[in-house]
Structure formats: C-alpha cells, structure tokens
Structure 1
Amino acid sequence: MMSQEQNDLITRTGATTPCGRLMRMYWQPAALVDELLGERPVRPVRLLGENLVLFRDEQGRYGLIDRHCAHRGADLAFGRLEHGGLRCAFHGWLFDTSGQCLETPAEPSGSQLCANIRQRAYPVVERSGILWAYLGEGQPPAFPEIDCFIAPDSHTFAFKGHMACNWLQALEVGIDPAHASYLHRFFEDEDTSAAYGRQFRAASASSELPMTKILRDYDRPIINVEQTEYGLRLIALREIDAERTHVRVTNQLFPHGFVIPMSTEMTITQWHVPVDDQNCYWYAIFTSYSTQVDKNKMREQRLELYELPDYISRKNKANDYGFDAGEQRTSTYTGMGHDINVHDQWAVESMGAIQDRTKEHLGQSDKAIVQYRRLLRQEIEKVGGGEKPMLFLDEANARSIQGPATMDGIGPTRGWETYWMEVDVKRRRGAPWAAPVPRDIAGKVHHLTAAE
C-alpha cells in the first residue's frame, strides 16, 4: 500500500505537478491522422489537462494551439480554416499553425496589434498514423527507432479508444501478465485461422495450441521482470510439461507505453495518454513483420466496437459493458463479450476515476507493477532535479533504442531463454522492411549460441 501523497505523485499530470512535468518531456499522441481527414480538418483536443485545438491548414501543415482565442476567449474549435490559418468565428482574428496572429480585421486599417499577439502553440509531427504533440519546453526529444516508427505505412495501422479513468491504472493492466488467464478467459476455443486483427485468439508460435487454451489451462505464470534502457522487459512463463513452456515476452516503454505480441506476425505498441486526471485514451500502433496490414479490415473490426468522433466503446459503464450472466456461465469469464479491450476497460474503470492505492494489497504476481511505480518515481525525481529522464533522446542516440523484442510461443522448458530470442531475431530479420535486431537481443543470442 502507499500513502495518498504517493498516489497523487504518480497519477496527477497537470502542468504544475511533478508527474505532469515529466510527461511534458515526451511526445504525446494527440489524435489519429484519420481524425483530420475530410473537408474540415479541425479537432478539439484535451491533453494532459490542457484544452487545445488541432487543425491542418491549406498547405497541409498541422497546428496545435490553445482552444480559447487570445482576443476574448471564444472557442476556436468552431473556427474557419482560411487564408493560411484558423480564424475565430467571433471577430475574425486569424492564427497560423505557430500560433502567430496574422489578422485582427475589426481593428483600424494599419493597426499592428496582430504582430504582438501569439496564441500558445505546440509542435506536431506525424508518425505511423498518429499526430504527436510536444507540450514541454525547449527542444523536443528524438523518436526512438523502434519497430512501429521505422516500419512503412503499409505495415502499420493506428487506432485509439477512450477510458474514463486515470492513465496509470489503464497502463498497469497492460504490464500485468497474470490477469490474462482470468479477465480474458474464454471457455471455448475458436478456429485460429479467423483470428486476424484479434488479440489472444491466434495459435501460439511453434504450436497448434490456441492462446485461449494456454491462458485458460495454465493460470499461474512465473513472471520475470528486467530493467532495460527503455523501461522494463516482462517475461511470463507457463510450463505445459517437462519439455514445453509457453513464453510470452512484453515490454514497458517509458513513460506510459508498452509493446506486446499480438500474433506470430504482428505486435501492438500502445500508449495510455492522460486526457486529464480522470480520463485517458489508449493509442495503439499495430505493426506487421510479414505482409502489409489489411487496414480496411482492422478499421472495420474496430468501428463495430467504437463510436466516433470520440472513440468511445459501445460497451461501457452506461450499459454495464454489455454484461450477460448467461454468457458468464458458459462462454466468457467476464460475461462482457469477446473484445478484450472491453474487459480491460471494465477492470480499470471499476477501480474509480483515480484508483485509491492506499487500500490495495499486492502479491508476487504484481512485481512488474511494483517495479514500474518505483521507476516512475525515480524519473519524476530526476526531472525535479533538472535532469533528463529515461528515453529523452537526441538525434545522435535515437538508434540506441530499437525493437523492443517481443515473443509469444511455446519453446523448450530448458533453454527457453535462447529460444525466444532466436524466434524474435528471425522474425525481425525476415521483415520486408528489414527492421534491425536490437543490440541487446542480438548480442545475447550470439553469446548463447556460441556457448552451446
């Protein structure tokens, strides 16, 4: 358990809070590129507790500026896109993507008022189907050269979903290997050939066993946690028998991301981004190491589950997440359908808007949660002391973070350490976009193989 003060430290992300200052030292997902398609590319955005408006001008440049006009505070989300910027519908003041006021048309001819008016603005870049914003001060960090950022557009797909809770409890479900055997338990296995685009439904690598059966039958994983230069590596081992062990390797990508295997061909890199202290969005990039991603199918699958324009799950607290008692008895552990995102959403939203960690009791299976919170406090303290936090990279060091390696497969009970690394290296080297092999993994594989 922790004190209320400690809980506030790691959950609150307002501009003046210690964790908020940490978060502002990283690029944050602000919107999907898809959200600014169409005839009027303007979107209100709430990010880290700040009210902003995102737009694309006639030249294709992105701008992210304060939502309320510097003149008298009218809402720029209802502004007009014209003449190189976003024009307030109240008095016609015009702002470009840098926040500079270009025109104050109600003022006398020759007035220079606009030259001294600047709307607060933040830089925006496009990466892998997501528009990223930097809300911090000074030069933004470089993007690490991880797989989801270096893969071509044809091999990635991005989506998002809203959760009505604090970002931290939403993140922590993704770095909890034990919960999948219960929260995502299915009592019957499906044809794995129809699993494209669906988590935990495919067969495990090097095996005909479906993931649903593995998670259901082997519910006491051995969990190993390693600190890395990008965050944490989590290894969950489910021993099937003396010869075979299921190995699942996932990663926590500091500060609020994680990377998990979706299938033998695809990974998911996901971030839980604070809207404010009581809401967050998960943003996910699906990365394929083999064929091009079927974007239409992936999008259609998810649009059946989420309401636009705010990407709110059709199953939510208002309708008890679709809970069905009959289904809970016979089909799924939760009785909330087959979308695991709904299961996760119920779990984290049921904790309250901000989980009260003063009342929790952690066990051995929560070791990744414990280590992540320790790491988060450590990096908050570093920023408070004027240091750069973990994964704040410059261009010269962007290549130092690659991968990170993931794995979901059945290997030998003795020698699984070498097995999972070799499978990951083979997959990455076989990618048509020639993704590099992370140096820490390549080095270990070479060393272990030589030792044999």
Structure 2
Amino acid sequence: MMSREQNDLITRTGPQDPAGKLMRMYWQPAALIEELQGERPIRPVRLLGENFVLFRDEAGRYGLIDRDCPHRGADLAFGRLENGGLRCAFHGWLFDVEGSCLETPAEPANSRLCAGIRQRAYPVVEKSGVLWAYLGEGTPPAFPEIDCFTAPGTHTFAFKGMMNCNWLQALEVGIDPAHASFLHRFFHDEDPSASYGKQFRASSADSDLPMTRILREYDRPIINVEKTEYGLRLIALRQIDEERTHVRVTNQLFPHGFVIPMSAEMTITQWHVPIDDENCYWYAIFTSFSAPVDKQKMRDQRLELYALPDYVSRRNKANDYGFDPHEQANETYTGMGLDINVHDQWAVESMGAIQDRTREHLGQSDKAIIQYRRLLRQEIEKAVSGSALPLLVLDGAHARSIQGPATMDGIGPTAGWEIYWMEVDVKRRRGAPWAAPVPAEIAARVPHLSAAQ
C-alpha cells in the first residue's frame, strides 16, 4: 500500500518538487509545429506547472520565455511579433528568443534600462513535428536516436490530446498490457483493410487474426517485464493453442513515454507531459516502416475527436464520454464508441485529478506498473541527490547507442517466441525504405538476420 507522501513524490512535478527536478532534466514536448503556423505564430504554453509563451520570430527562430512581462507582469501571449522579437502590448518592451530585452520604447531616448533586463528563456528545438523545450539547468541532454527521431519526416506524423488528470495515471494506462482485453474490447471485428490510422484494429503479424478478436478471446496474458537501458520492455503473451502464441512487445521510455506497435508497419512513440499536476497532454509520433505516412488522413481522423486550438476531446466528462448503454450491451465493452483514446481518457480521468494510490490493490497483471514506480522513485533520488545522472539523461556519444526500441505484435510459435519477435522486428527494419537501425541488443541475439547491417 502506498502512503500519501509516496504518492505525492511520484506525481507532483512543480519547480520545487523532487519529480519536477527530475522532469526538468529532460527535453519536454511543448507544442506541435502546426500550432505555430499561420499569420501569428504565438502560443501560450503551460508546462510542468509554469506559464510560458512560445513564438517564432520573423527569422524563423523559436523562442520560449516566461509569460509575464518583467516590466509590470502583463501577459506576453498577447504580444506583437515585430523587430526581431515579441513585443509586450502594454508598454512595448521587446524580447528576442533568448530573452534579451531589445527595446523599452516608453523610456527616454538615452535610457539604458533595457541593457539590464532579461526575461527567462529556454532552449527550443524541432524534432519530428514537435517543438521540444528544455526547462532545466546547464547543457540540455542529447536526444536518443530512437526510431521516431531517425525516420525521415515523410514517415512520421505528430499529434496530441489533452487529459484532465495527473500525468502518471495517463502514462500508467499505456504500460498496462492487461487492460486492452477489457477497456478496448470490441464485440465485432471489422475489416482489417480499413484499419489505417487505428490502434488494435489491424491483423497481427503472420496471421489473419484481427487484434480485436485476440484481445477479446484471450484476456489473461502472461506479462514479462525486463529492465533496459531506456526504461522497461514489456512482453505480453496470449497463448492461442499449443503451437501458436500471440506476442506483443511494448516499451516504457523513461521518464514519461512509451513505444508500442500500432500495426505491422507503424509504431507509436508517446509522451505524457504534465501541464500541471492535474492536467496533461499526450504527444504521439507515429512512425512508418513502409510507405510514407498519409498525414492528412491521420490528422483528419484525429480531428473527428479533438477540437482545436487546445486539442480537447469532444467526448469528455461533461457528456459522459458519449456513453451509450445499448452500445455497451451489444458493441463495445465501455459503450463509449470506437476510439480507444476515449476509453483511455475515461479510465484515467475517472480516477480523479490525482489518483489516490493509498486506496488501490495491485495484482500480478500490474507488475509493469509496480516496476515503473520503483524505477521512478530511484531516478527521482538520483536527481535530488546529484549522486548520478538519471536514466536517459544522455550525452552525444551515449545517445547514439539508444536505438529502436524494438516493438512487435504478431502470432508466432509457442515454443520459440523469444526469438520470433526479434526476427519480426529485424525483418521490418531491413525492409524499411529509410535506414532503420537494428538495436545492438537485438542484433546480438539474431545474428543470422543482422549480419546484413
């Protein structure tokens, strides 16, 4: 049983919180590139409990600065883009992407006031359709060379969605292999050929069995959890018969991400980013190992559920997530439609703004969640004590060694699944039109396939 103090330790990420210190040692998704397109590329951003304004200047440079003007605290999100920076609409003070004050026009012509003014500014980089910000101290870490950052832009697509709950419960649903057999259960299977852009709707690799049927009929997976250099690897086994076993390999990407298969051709790398302690965004990068991503189709599919500009779900607590008791009796386990994002949102938001883990009772199927919480506490201690760098805080040399991670979803031999899933992953990488690296750990275990690298 967890104490309230232990729950606070792993959920709260403000500037003074231990987990907040840990989170500020990593790049954080701050916005999608598309949010800064158009005539006025300025967006207010709330991230890890702090308020910022994100903008793109006339030269195309991105800046993230504190949202309150250092003059008298007016809101810079209503500022004007001009003369190489963002100008406050109150008195015209002008700040560039590095936080330097360029002008204080209401002051006397010979005033040197602006020379001593500096707004806090934070590094911003673009990767795979997402703008990433570093809120920590010192030199930012290097990005790992994982698939979603290695693939060309033609083969990735980024999106996000808001959840009104703490980041940790949003993350934990993604590292819970057992829940999909219930929360995402569909009573009828649809044509897998119509599954593009939809999770759990395609056929598993090396079979014609749709994932909906596998999840529905085999709901007691054996779950293995392995420690890795990037977090955790989760392997869920659903035995079909004596000869065949369904294998699903997913990964927890520390600190708040996961990597999962979407289909035989596509993976999802997803982060659960604290807006504050009671709200979060999920940011997902979809990576294709075959054809270029149909970005317009993927975006249109998601905009059926999410409303701009804040990417809020149209099905939410206010309308009972679209719950239909007739549908629950005849079509889906939840009665909340066919989009699994709605199912997940209901599950995690129904726990409360911050789940009270002092009241939960965990079982064997929760072993990944138990191990992740243990890992999180361990890495928080490193961040607070300074005894060592937390997991995945990387320099350039080590970043190149973090590749993959391998995922798969397929039906292989009951005796021999351990090698089967790695073979499937390597073959997919070998057939990719871009240079998808085979992680060294996997290459060492299937040398008969990896020799061609």
TM-score, normalized by the shorter chain, greater than 0.5: yes
Partners in 2 of 1:322 and 1:333 — Cα distance?
13
Shift of 1:13: 0.1
**Which residue pairs with 1:433 in the alignment?**
434
Deviation at 1:340, TM superposition (A): 0.3
State the partner residue of 2:419: 418
AA paired with 1:242? E
Where does residue 409 of structure 1 map in the other structure? 410
Q: How does 1:187-266 map to 2 (within 5 A)?
A: 187-266=187-266
TM-score for both structures, normalised by structure 1: 0.99
Q: How does 1:240-389 map to 2 (within 5 A)?
A: 240-386=240-386, 387-389=388-390
Q: Distance in 2 between matches of 1:446 and 1:172?
A: 34
1:91-106 equivalences under 5 Å are 91-106=91-106
Deviation at 1:448, TM superposition (A): 11
**Distance in 1 (alpha carbons) for counterparts of 2:74 and 2:219:** 55
Q: What is the distance in 2 between the residues matched to 1:208 and 1:120? A: 55
* Offset at residue 283 of structure 1 (A): 0.1
CA contact (8 A) 2:290 2:432 kept: yes
Determine if contact 1:199/1:340 at 8 Å carries over to the other structure.
Answer: yes
CA distance in 1, matches of 2:319, 2:99: 41
CA contact (8 A) 2:426 2:449 kept: no
Deviation at 1:297, TM superposition (A): 0.2
Please give the secondary structure, in 2, of the residue aligned with 1:246.
strand
Contact 1:246 1:411 in 2 (8 A): yes
Larger mean CA deviation between 425-434 and 316-325 belongs to: 425-434
Question: Any runs of at least 4 consecutive aligned residues in structure 1 with deviations exceeding 3 A, and if so which?
Answer: 447-450
What is the alpha-carbon distance in structure 1 between the residues aligned to residue 215 and residue 449 of structure 2? Answer: 29
Q: Deviations over 1:60-115 (max 9, x none)?
A: 00000000100000000000000000000000000000011000000001111001
Whole-Å separation in 1 of the counterparts to 2:450 and 2:130: 39
CA pair 332-126 structure 1, distance change in 2 beyond 3 A: same
Contact 1:42 1:54 in 2 (8 A): yes
Q: Per the alignment, in what secondary structure is the counterpart of residue 347 of structure 1?
A: helix
Instruction: Give the corresponding residue for 2:156.
Output: 156
Cα deviation for residue 400 of structure 1 reads 1.1
- 3-state secondary structure, aligned to 1:400: coil
User: Does structure 2 conserve the Cα–Cα contact (< 8 Å) formed by 1:204 and 1:264?
Assistant: yes
Kindly report which structure 2 residues correspond to 1:168-187, keeping only aligned pairs within 5 A, or say none: 168-187=168-187
Match of 1:206, SS?
Answer: coil
Q: Is the 8 A contact 2:161 2:283 kept in 1?
A: yes
Gaps of 5+ in 1: none
Q: Distance in 2 between matches of 1:286 and 1:310?
A: 20
Identity, in percent, stands at 82
Q: Distance in 2 between matches of 1:217 and 1:289?
A: 29
**Contact kept in structure 1, 2:423 and 2:449, CA below 8 Å:** no
Letter in 1 for 2:185: R
Q: Which amino acid aligns with 2:413?
A: P
In 1: Cα distance, 2:437 partner to 2:330 partner? 45
SS, match of residue 197 in structure 1:
coil
In 2 relative to 1, CA 448–150 (structure 1 residues): closer, same or farther, beyond 3 Å?
closer
2:7 aligned residue: 7
Please give the alpha-carbon distance, in whole angstroms, between the structure 2 residues aligned to 1:256 and 1:398.
17
Using the TM superposition, name which of 438-447 and 167-176 deviates more: 438-447
Cα RMSD, aligned residues only = 1.1
Deviation of 1:431 after TM superposition, in Å, equals 1.0
1:449 Cα deviation after fit: 10
- What is the match of residue 25 of structure 1? 25
Contact 1:418–1:448 (Cα < 8 Å) also in 2: no
Alpha-carbon distance in 1 for matches of 2:271, 2:182? 23
CA displacement, residues 38-59 of structure 1 (integer Å, 9 cap, x when unaligned): 0000000000000000000000
Cα distance in 1 for partners of 2:291, 2:38 equals: 28
Q: Deviations over 1:5-60 (max 9, x none)?
A: 00000000001110000000000000000000000000000000000000000000
Which amino acid in 2 is paired with 1:49? G
SS at match of 1:436: coil
CA offsets 1:389-444 (integer angstroms, 9 cap, x no match): 00011111111100000010000000000100000011012111111100011111
User: In structure 1, what residue type is equivalent to 2:233?
Assistant: R
* CA shift for structure 1 position 446: 2.3
- Following the alignment from structure 2 to structure 1, what is the Cα–Cα distance between the partners of residues 338 and 217? 18
**Matched-pair contact (CA < 8 Å) for 1:251–1:259:** yes
**Structure-2 residue corresponding to 1:45:** 45
- Please give the alpha-carbon distance, in whole angstroms, between the structure 2 residues aligned to 1:142 and 1:239: 40
Shift of residue 447 of structure 1?
8.2
Contact 2:27 2:134 in 1 (8 A): yes
* AA aligned opposite 1:417: E
SS of residue in 1 equivalent to 2:446: helix
Amino acid at match of 1:439: A
Give yes or no for contact 2:189–2:210 (8 Å, CA) kept in 1: yes
Distance 1:347 1:398 in 2: 35
Asked if the contact 1:134/1:140 (under 8 Å) is kept, the reply is: yes
Using the size of structure 2 for normalisation, the TM-score is: 0.98
User: Structure 2: which 5+ runs fail to align?
Assistant: none
Partners of 1:376 and 1:157 lie apart in 2 by 29
Matched, 1:394 2:395: yes
Which residue pairs with 1:165 in the alignment? 165
